[in-house]
Structure 1
Amino acid sequence: MKTVIKNTFLTATINSFGAELCSLKNKENKEYIWAGNSDFWGKHSPILFPIVGTLKNNSFHHNAKEYNLSRHGFAREMEFKLIDKKEDSATFSLQSTEETLRVYPFQFELQIIYTLDNYNLSIEYKVINKGNSKMPFSIGAHPAFALPGYFKDYSIQFDKEESLKYYLLENDLISNQTKKLETQEGQIPLTYELFKNDALIFKTLKSKSLTILENRNPFLRVNFNDFPSLGIWTKMNAPFLCIEPWFGYSDTNENSGNLFEKEGIQVLEENATFRSEFSIEVL
C-alpha cells in the first residue's frame, strides 16, 4: 500500500512495504528519488535495521546461540503498519514477530515518521526496546537520489572543511585500508571511478549535511545532524547517488560475533526509546 503526503511545495509517496520512501516531487513535478530501475538497483530508499551493512559470516551469537542475519537486516523486506496519517505526515510501525525473533532475539517496535515542512522532508526513526534486557542494534538510511543528467556534471559538498578519510570494503566487510577524498574548491566531483570498490564509508565526520550540485548549482541537501557515520554509494553507470546516514556499519574481520561488542553498535536499555532524525531538503 502506498501513502501520499503533501504540502504546498512537495509531495512524498511512501510504500508500506519497508516503509520505503519511493517518490519525492516538487510542485513542478520534478522527481528527486531514484525510480528503482532493477537494471541497476531495484530499491529507492530502504531502511537498514537492525544492522547496517554485513555481519562477519552473516551471523552473530547471543546467549550461546548463533543467529543468521543478512546484509542490512530485515526491516526493508517487511510490511509496516500505517498508524498515523495527516495531510503532511505519516507514521509507520514494525513490531517484532516470531519471524524476526528467529534471526534477532530482541523484542522491539520500529517507527518511521515522515513529515513535510516547506521544502523539507524529515524522516524520524524511533526504536523502542520492548524486552526485559538490553538490545543492541544499528539503524541507517539508504536514500537514492535521481541524477538524470551526465554523472560528471554533478558534485557533492560537505558543510565543513575536514580531512575526508573513508574506509574501503573488502568482501562486504570494513577493511583497515583507507583513502583520502580530495576536494576541489570545497567540492568533490562525482566520477564512477570513486565507487569502483563499492561504497565510501565514513566512520566519523565533522560535517552534518551534504549538498548535491548539478553544474555547480545546489539542488538538494541531506541534513544528518544526529548521525555519526555516513555512506555514499552508486553503481557503475547508474544515474543515482545514495547518501546514507548511519548508526553503525559493517563488521570488520576482527569482529567477535557478539553484537554488544560490535563497532558502532547502539545499546538500548529495557523499555527505553531511541530517536534520531535526518532530512532531505529541496533547494
Structure 2
Amino acid sequence: MAEDLIEIGNDQLSAAINPLGAELTHLRDADGRELMTDADPAYWTGHAPILFPIIGRLNGDTLRLDGRDYAMKQHGFARHETFDLAAHTATSATFRLTANDETRACYPFEFVLEVGFSIDAATLAIDVRIANPGSAPLPASLGFHPAFAWPLPYGRPRAEHRIAFAADEPGDIVELAGGLFAAKRRSPLDGRILHLADDLFAQDALIWDPVASQSVIYGATDGPQLKIDFPDTPYLGIWTKPGAAFVCVEPWHGHADPVDFTGDFRTKPGVFEIAPEADWTCRMAIALEA
C-alpha cells in the first residue's frame, strides 16, 4: 500500500521518507536534483529499505530458534511494515515499529524499532534504535540498503564514478551463492578505489567481511560526491543490477547465512543480542560534498 511521504529539509538538502518500511525514498540537493535511485521496475523498485531482523537470506528461508522453525524471507519484515510517525519537525522525522501478530508469527519477540532521519547543513543522518522490552535476550541483525543515482545528476559519465574507501581493505571479499555466503574471492579494489562497472556485479553483491573503513566517498572525482559514514557496522555490501541507474552502498550489522549454516539463529554469524530492558543504536550519515 502506498503511503504519503514525510518530507524534511533545509536550504541545502531535502528528503522524503515512506512510512512503509521507514524507507528513504528521495534525497535531493538545493536545486532539487535527485540523488537516489530512479526505482526503474525493470531492475529494482526499492529505494533504501531497512533490513531487520535479518540481512540477506536464511538457509531455506527458515529462522531456526529454540527448536522451532519460522518462515522468514530475504532481508526480514521491517521493509514491508508500516511504521508510526513518532515525531516530525521541518528537519527531522522519527518512525517507530513495534511487534504485532504478524511479526510474532515469524519472529517471536517483543521489540521497538525506531528509525530517525535528521538533516543538518548538507548531511542526512539516519539513526536506528532497537529496544528490547522483553525478559529474554533479543537476537537481531540490522542493515541499511540505500540506492544512489548512478550517475549522480552532475553531468559526469557513469563510467567515471567510483567508490573510495577511507582505509586499506587488504582482505578478500565474499561471494554469494543463491543469496548465501559462500567462498571468498579476490577483492576488485585498486588500492582504496572501486572503479564502478556493470561486470563487477554479474555474480551479485560485493561484500566486505569485515570492512576496515568507517566511510566511503561515492561519485566522479571532478564533481559533487556523497560521503557515506557508517561508524557502527562491521560489514559492507555494494550492489546493483547491471545496466541499472543506481548503486547501493549497504552498511550492515549482520549478513546472510553461510551456505552450510543451519544452526540456531542466536548462534548465526553476524547476529547480536540485546539484553532485556536494554537498547542498541547505530547510525549512517550521507553528506553531499561539493
What is the CA–CA distance in structure 1 between the aligned matches of 2:112 and 2:193, rounded to whole Å?
Answer: 39
SS, match of residue 270 in structure 2:
coil
Match status 1:106 vs 2:106: no
Report how many residues are paired: 282
After superposition, give the CA deviation of every residue in 1:152-175 in whole Å (9 maximum; x if it has no partner): 121110011231521000011000
Q: Which runs of 5+ in 1 are unaligned?
A: none
Quote the RMSD (CA, aligned, Å): 1.3
Percentage identity across paired residues of the two chains: 33
Q: Which amino acid aligns with 1:103?
A: C
Which residue number in structure 2 is paired with residue 277 of structure 1? 283
Which residue number in structure 2 is paired with residue 154 of structure 1? 161
After superposition, give the CA deviation of every residue in 1:119-142 in whole Å (9 maximum; x if it has no partner): 100000100112111111000000
After TM superposition, the structure 1 stretch with the greater mean CA deviation from structure 2, 151-160 or 224-233, is 151-160
Which residue number in structure 2 is paired with residue 264 of structure 1? 270
Cα distance, 1:176 vs. partner?
A: 2.4
What is the CA–CA distance in structure 2 between the aligned matches of 1:151 and 1:90, rounded to whole Å?
Answer: 33
Q: Which of 244, 248, 255 is matched with 1:242 structurally? A: 248
TM-score (norm 2): 0.94
SS, match of residue 102 in structure 1:
helix
Cα distance, 1:216 vs. partner?
A: 4.7
Q: Which amino acid aligns with 2:35?
A: Y
Q: Which runs of 5+ in 2 are unaligned?
A: none
Match status 1:211 vs 2:211: no
Question: Greater strand percent: which structure?
Answer: 1
Residues 167 and 202, structure 1, Cα contact 8 Å, conserved in 2: yes
SS, match of residue 74 in structure 2:
coil
Q: Which amino acid aligns with 2:160?
A: D
What is the CA–CA distance in structure 2 between the aligned matches of 1:64 and 1:275, rounded to whole Å?
Answer: 29
What is the CA–CA distance in structure 1 between the aligned matches of 2:47 and 2:76, rounded to whole Å?
Answer: 16
SS, match of residue 183 in structure 2:
strand
Residues 211 and 218, structure 1, Cα contact 8 Å, conserved in 2: no
Residues 38 and 246, structure 2, Cα contact 8 Å, conserved in 1: no
Residues 31 and 146, structure 1, Cα contact 8 Å, conserved in 2: yes
Match status 1:165 vs 2:172: yes
SS, match of residue 134 in structure 2:
coil
Which residue number in structure 2 is paired with residue 225 of structure 1? 231
Cα pair distance change 1:26/1:182, threshold 3 Å: closer
What is the CA–CA distance in structure 2 between the aligned matches of 1:217 and 1:208, rounded to whole Å?
Answer: 22
TM-score (norm 1): 0.96
What is the CA–CA distance in structure 2 between the aligned matches of 1:257 and 1:162, rounded to whole Å?
Answer: 30
Cα distance, 1:107 vs. partner?
A: 0.7
Q: Which of 155, 174, 179 is matched with 2:181 structurally? A: 174
What is the CA–CA distance in structure 1 between the aligned matches of 2:164 and 2:184, rounded to whole Å?
Answer: 24
Residues 50 and 73, structure 1, Cα contact 8 Å, conserved in 2: yes
Residues 65 and 266, structure 2, Cα contact 8 Å, conserved in 1: no
Q: Which amino acid aligns with 1:80?
A: F
